């Protein structure tokens, strides 16, 4: 059974159909990519899954549980976590605090526990710190622990965002262009990290990505969106050779272009 | 608590530097001695101008004790000297000092409450004084002859037994928190400017209610509000040489100190907890906070209710201290006043906010009035339009403008806010310059519908 099950989801903004009747399945412990030209509706699709937008029609289920109608924070609690295309770390918090914030959703102590410093509270704080250390270690950012998140190098900020998302112990993590702005070496590191997320933590990964080399070598399955609709899906080599995909990226009659070269690579 | 290895390493707030134990003790001794020995010299005439100067200089010693690197025993001595000896002593000599200190502490508590709402959670509340009014009127109505007039019951001709004062402090906390939640529920879906305008309106609504309802006695206000009877404390005060009419101030001084200690404690503990982190996250990036599992409405309501409850408690004490309240104590300018304490002192930083309260309260209650008094005594024929107390708000506004231009993070900024205020400054290292370049090339931001609509959502708050 698939972990995430999206059935015929549609979302319109005024006259614009951002996501049009998309059906999408994610098997457990897989790495899936969603690609498509700019404006294809990929991020909107993520926003629908994470509850930031509510679809006009369709169903979204995680492990059989309906997600539509849940607030974004409830979706996180249900087990879906995400990163953002334009990095959204909390600038005045240290790397550690950013991750501790992410852990908050799994902590049970409340308002009065915090005021009275109950044993439940102390236990929770310890858990948050432990999680932060573990996650920083996992993504290889231990040395930045007490640095402000915004003072980290760009590539490390992306990794920190991933660590923060992982701190919520998700079943599924959605990565929105994790390699954007990274140099080839950082991208290689990222690839290893994404594999480790799946292999070591057992977390299913869905990513939006423009770096075709990364997508083609990493994903087990690819879905292509164009103008909000699903254009194609399949194994990497199937998608790469799909004429409809070539056309969407390059335009009709164009012989070769940047993406074409990369897709062939 | 110190054994808890959990609190994240503190951000560097204060610059290091040598040990200043002796400097601290010397400063405290000198300012305290000046204040005490010059008290009769500065009681009248043009020398009166020195009053707020010396008093302020002395109060600074406690700030230094908090900020400077010095031995703990020295700090303790400074606190005890100030709180236990010098302030009550000055209060005994001249009740206006007591009045001022209590006023400062009440406003500090208000500023600390608003600091949670504005400084931590980033919700601009321009009607905060309404919660103060809720507490003040709650005790004002029940603790005064007003109750007898409303009920027409002769048994309540002097209000409830003043001993109920103790019950009404927690009651006011609960009621103010409840009002905070009720106001917050519909309002907190709005963001930024919209929230500010609506809270401004709701703050005025509460004042207008007070101004027009029969139970609040309208614009005439409520008189004869009692304070709790504490015979044992009065006895102590008497044996310390306080005049009988000062006993109430002596009691309120101790009470306000106790309440504010509690408020500071609660403030600190909330700040360093999951809830504090959630507040900061919401302030910095609501969408990211929610995407990391922070329930927005609940967390904002907690901030609103916490801030409101502090104001509620202080409202009761304020009513007892003044013995008379009317709607003018709770107008829009009071909200702005408390907000400027928070901003002037340093948003998000407890000691900064208290410093802000000290500065603003002293400016309003002693510096400017004393200045105008002295000027009038020296130049009796002065044009009435040049009276400095008439320019109170002008001067105050000027101070705020200058602060915002030259030190927008406040006198004692929290490390977090300092980061925010200066994150757009030119990057110091080439590393961060690189980051800016890379961010600039981040593609798809405009074209992606997900983010193209973000701005719109921020304006209308239509997101859930």
pLDDT digits (tens, 9 = 90+) for B296-330: 999 999 999 999 999 999 999 999 999 999 999 99
- Chain A residue numbers with beta carbons less than 8 Å from the beta carbon of B288 are 84, 88-90
Q: How many CA atoms are closer than 13 Å to the CA of B292, on its beta-carbon side?
A: 34
Comparing alpha-carbon positions, the chain B residue that sits nearest to A47 is B450
For residues B144 and B54, membership in a common domain is answered with no
On whether residue B219 sits in a domain, the answer given is yes
Comparing CB atoms, the residue among B9, B270, B293 nearest residue A76 is B293
On whether residue B12 sits in a domain, the answer given is no
Q: How confident is the model at residue B448 (pLDDT cuts 50, 70, 90)?
A: very low
Q: Residue B108 has what pLDDT?
A: 96
On whether residue B115 sits in a domain, the answer given is yes
Given the candidates 2.120.10.30, 3.40.50.880, 3.30.565.10, 3.40.50.300, the CATH classification of the domain at A1-79+170-265 is: 3.40.50.300
Chain A touched by B288 (CB under 8 Å) = yes
Mean pLDDT across the stretch A3-17?
93
Chain A touched by B92 (CB under 8 Å) = no
Tell me if B285 and A76 make a contact (CB, 8 A cut-off).
no
Q: Residue A255 has what pLDDT?
A: 44
> In which residue are the tokens 């549980």 written?
A65
Lowest-pLDDT choice from A45-49, B34-38, B277-281, B424-428: B424-428
Tell me if A50 and B291 make a contact (CB, 8 A cut-off).
yes
Q: Residue B423 has what pLDDT?
A: 62
Comparing CB atoms, the residue among A47, A77, A100 nearest residue B293 is A77
Tell me if B8 and A100 make a contact (CB, 8 A cut-off).
yes
For residues B47 and B106, membership in a common domain is answered with no
Tell me if B293 and A181 make a contact (CB, 8 A cut-off).
no
Answer yes or no: is pLDDT of B442 > 50. no
Tell me if B287 and A86 make a contact (CB, 8 A cut-off).
no
**A262: closest CA of chain B, how far (Å):** 17
For residues B202 and B260, membership in a common domain is answered with yes
Q: Residue B428 has what pLDDT?
A: 43
Answer yes or no: is pLDDT of A84 > 90. yes
pTM of the model: 0.85
CA A181 vs. chain centroid, Å, equals 16
Dig out the tokens for B12 from the structure.
């560097």
For residues B107 and B231, membership in a common domain is answered with yes
> In which residue are the tokens 């937008």 written?
A53
On whether residue B39 sits in a domain, the answer given is yes
Residue range(s) defining the domain that contains residue B52: 18-93
For residues B160 and B75, membership in a common domain is answered with no
Lowest-pLDDT choice from A83-97, B6-20, B86-100, B423-437: B423-437
Chain A touched by B282 (CB under 8 Å) = no
Pairing of strands A221-226, A31-35: parallel
For residues B248 and B358, membership in a common domain is answered with yes
Chain A touched by B416 (CB under 8 Å) = yes
**A250: closest CA of chain B, how far (Å):** 17
Gap between the Cα atoms of B94 and B249, Å rounded: 11
- Chain B residue numbers with beta carbons less than 8 Å from the beta carbon of A165 are 292
Tell me if A153 and B439 make a contact (CB, 8 A cut-off).
no
Comparing CB atoms, the residue among B423, B441, B447 nearest residue A181 is B441
Beta bridge partners of B325: B222
On whether residue B28 sits in a domain, the answer given is yes
Residues contacting residue B280 through CB under 8 Å, at least 6 positions apart: A90, A92, A93, B120, B121, B416
Tell me if A180 and B443 make a contact (CB, 8 A cut-off).
yes
Q: Please identify, among B49, B76, B93, the residue that sits at the C-terminal boundary of a domain.
A: B93
For residues B226 and B116, membership in a common domain is answered with yes
For residues B57 and B161, membership in a common domain is answered with no
Dig out the tokens for B270 from the structure.
């909330």
Answer yes or no: is pLDDT of B457 > 50. no
Q: Residue B403 has what pLDDT?
A: 83
Q: Please identify, among B384, B404, B421, the residue that sits at the C-terminal boundary of a domain.
A: B421
> In which residue are the tokens 């925010």 written?
B420
**A104: closest CA of chain B, how far (Å):** 6
Comparing CB atoms, the residue among B293, B417, B438 nearest residue A181 is B438
Q: How confident is the model at residue B452 (pLDDT cuts 50, 70, 90)?
A: very low
Q: How many residue pairs bridge chain A and chain B with CB atoms within 8 Å of each other?
A: 178
Gap between the Cα atoms of A172 and A80, Å rounded: 5
Q: What is the number of residues in chain B? A: 464
Q: For chain A, give every domain's residue range.
A: 1-79+170-265, 90-168
For residues B46 and B118, membership in a common domain is answered with no
CATH number where B359 lies:
1.10.3470
On whether residue B6 sits in a domain, the answer given is no
CA B430 vs. chain centroid, Å, equals 41
pLDDT tens by residue, B57-113: 999 999 988 888 888 899 999 999 999 999 999 888 888 899 999 999 999 999 999
Q: Please identify, among B49, B67, B93, the residue that sits at the C-terminal boundary of a domain.
A: B93
Tell me if A114 and B278 make a contact (CB, 8 A cut-off).
no
Comparing alpha-carbon positions, the chain A residue that sits nearest to B464 is A71
User: Percentage of chain B surpassing pLDDT 70?
Assistant: 85
For residues B77 and B130, membership in a common domain is answered with no
| Best of A11, A52, A105 to mutate (most B CBs within 10 Å, chain B) | A52
- Chain B residue numbers with beta carbons less than 8 Å from the beta carbon of A94 are 8-9, 11
Burial per residue of B384-407, b for 16 or more beta-carbon CB atoms within 10 angstroms, e otherwise: eeebbeebbeebbeeebeebeeee
Gap between the Cα atoms of A106 and A98, Å rounded: 14
On whether residue B396 sits in a domain, the answer given is yes
Beta bridge partners of B411: none
Angle at B439 between CA A142 and CA A40, to 5 degrees: 110
For residues B75 and B141, membership in a common domain is answered with no
Q: Considering all CA atoms of chain B, what is the largest pairwise distance in Å, rounded to the nearest integer?
A: 79
**A77: closest CA of chain B, how far (Å):** 7
Q: How confident is the model at residue B17 (pLDDT cuts 50, 70, 90)?
A: low
Comparing CB atoms, the residue among B419, B449, B451 nearest residue A13 is B449
pLDDT tens by residue, A44-83: 999 999 999 999 999 999 999 999 999 999 999 999 999 9
Dig out the tokens for A233 from the structure.
């899906």
Comparing alpha-carbon positions, the chain B residue that sits nearest to A129 is B6
For residues B180 and B276, membership in a common domain is answered with yes
Tell me if B278 and A16 make a contact (CB, 8 A cut-off).
no
Dig out the tokens for A62 from the structure.
């995680």
Q: How confident is the model at residue A143 (pLDDT cuts 50, 70, 90)?
A: very high
pLDDT tens by residue, B331-358: 988 999 999 999 888 888 999 999 999 9
Tell me if A18 and B449 make a contact (CB, 8 A cut-off).
yes
| Best of A17, A101, A155, A157 to mutate (most B CBs within 10 Å, chain B) | A101
Q: Which CA distances in Å does B96 have to B121, B249, B256, B322?
A: 36, 10, 16, 13
**B290: closest CA of chain A, how far (Å):** 5
| Best of A115, A162, A172, A229 to mutate (most B CBs within 10 Å, chain B) | A115
On whether residue B188 sits in a domain, the answer given is yes
Mean pLDDT, chain B, integer:
83
Dig out the tokens for B243 from the structure.
């005049």
The number of folded domains in chain B is: 2
Answer yes or no: is pLDDT of A87 > 80. yes
Q: Which CA distances in Å does B217 have to B156, B330, B412?
A: 16, 15, 41
Per the CB < 8 A criterion, the answer to whether B82 and B97 are in contact is no
Interface confidence (ipTM) of the complex: 0.90
């Amino acid at each position: 059974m698939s972990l995430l099950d999206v059935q015929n989801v549609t979302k319109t903004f005024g006259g614009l159909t951002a996501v049009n009747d998309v059906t999408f399945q994610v098997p457990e412990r897989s790495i899936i990519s969603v690609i498509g030209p700019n404006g294809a509706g990929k991020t909107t699709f993520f926003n629908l899954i994470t509850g930031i937008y509510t679809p006009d029609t369709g169903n979204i289920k995680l492990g059989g549980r309906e997600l539509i109608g849940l607030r974004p924070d409830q979706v996180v609690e249900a087990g879906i976590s995400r990163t953002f295309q334009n990095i959204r770390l909390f600038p005045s918090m240290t790397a550690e605090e950013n991750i501790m914030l992410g852990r908050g959703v799994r902590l049970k102590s409340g308002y009065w526990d915090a005021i009275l410093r109950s044993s439940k509270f102390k236990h929770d704080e310890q858990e948050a710190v432990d999680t932060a250390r573990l996650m920083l270690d996992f993504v290889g950012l231990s040395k930045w622990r007490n640095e402000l998140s915004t003072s980290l190098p760009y590539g490390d900020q992306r990794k920190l965002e991933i660590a923060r998302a992982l701190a919520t112990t998700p079943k599924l993590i959605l990565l929105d262009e994790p390699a954007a702005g990274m140099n080839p070496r950082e991208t290689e590191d990222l690839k290893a990290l994404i594999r480790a997320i799946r292999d070591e933590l057992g977390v299913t990964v869905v990513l939006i990505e423009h770096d075709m080399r990364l997508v083609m070598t990493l994903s087990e399955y690819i879905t292509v969106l164009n103008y909000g609709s699903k254009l194609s899906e399949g194994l990497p080599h199937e998608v790469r050779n799909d004429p409809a995909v070539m056309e969407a990226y390059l335009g009709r009659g164009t012989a070769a272009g940047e993406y074409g070269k990369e897709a062939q690579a | 608590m110190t054994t808890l290895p959990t609190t994240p390493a503190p951000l560097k707030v204060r610059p290091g530097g040598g040990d200043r134990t002796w400097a601290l003790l010397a400063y405290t001794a000198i300012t305290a001695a000046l204040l005490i020995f010059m008290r009769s010299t500065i009681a009248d005439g043009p020398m009166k101008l020195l009053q707020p100067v010396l008093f302020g200089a002395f109060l600074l010693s406690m700030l230094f004790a908090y900020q400077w690197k010095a031995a703990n025993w020295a700090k303790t001595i400074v606190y005890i000297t100030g709180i236990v000896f010098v302030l009550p002593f000055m209060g005994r000599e001249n009740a206006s000092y007591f009045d001022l200190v209590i006023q400062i502490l009440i406003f500090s508590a208000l500023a600390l409450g608003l600091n949670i709402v504005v400084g931590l959670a980033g919700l601009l509340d321009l009607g905060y004084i309404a919660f103060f009014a809720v507490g003040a009127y709650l005790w004002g109505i029940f603790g005064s002859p007003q109750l007898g007039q409303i009920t027409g019951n002769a048994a309540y001709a002097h209000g409830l037994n003043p001993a109920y004062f103790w019950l009404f402090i927690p009651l006011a906390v609960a009621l103010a928190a409840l009002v905070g939640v009720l106001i917050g529920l519909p309002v907190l879906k709005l963001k930024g400017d919209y929230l500010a305008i609506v809270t401004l309106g709701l703050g005025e609504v509460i004042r207008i209610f007070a101004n027009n309802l029969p139970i609040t006695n309208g614009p005439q206000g409520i008189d004869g509000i009692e304070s709790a009877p504490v015979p044992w404390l009065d006895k102590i005060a008497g044996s310390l040489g306080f005049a009988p009419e000062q006993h109430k101030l002596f009691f309120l001084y101790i009470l306000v100190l106790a309440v504010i200690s509690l408020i500071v404690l609660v403030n600190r503990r909330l700040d360093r907890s999951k809830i504090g982190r959630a507040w900061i996250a919401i302030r910095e990036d609501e969408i990211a906070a929610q995407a990391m599992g922070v329930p927005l409405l609940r967390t904002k309501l907690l901030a609103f209710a916490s801030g409101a409850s502090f104001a509620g408690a202080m409202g009761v004490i304020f009513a007892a201290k003044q013995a008379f309240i009317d709607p003018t104590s709770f107008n829009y300018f009071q909200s702005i006043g408390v907000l400027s304490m928070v901003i002037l002192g340093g948003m998000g930083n407890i000691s900064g906010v208290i410093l802000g309260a000290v500065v603003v309260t002293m400016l309003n209650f002693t510096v400017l009035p004393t200045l105008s008094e002295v000027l009038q005594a020296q130049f009796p024929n002065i044009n009435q339009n040049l009276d400095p107390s008439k320019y109170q708000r002008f001067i105050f506004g000027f101070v705020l403008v200058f602060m915002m231009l030259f030190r927008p993070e406040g006198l004692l900024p929290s490390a977090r806010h300092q980061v925010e205020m200066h994150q757009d400054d030119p990057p110091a290292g080439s590393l961060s310059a690189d980051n800016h370049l890379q961010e600039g090339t981040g593609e798809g931001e405009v074209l992606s519908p997900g983010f193209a609509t973000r701005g719109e959502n921020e304006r209308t708050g239509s997101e859930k």
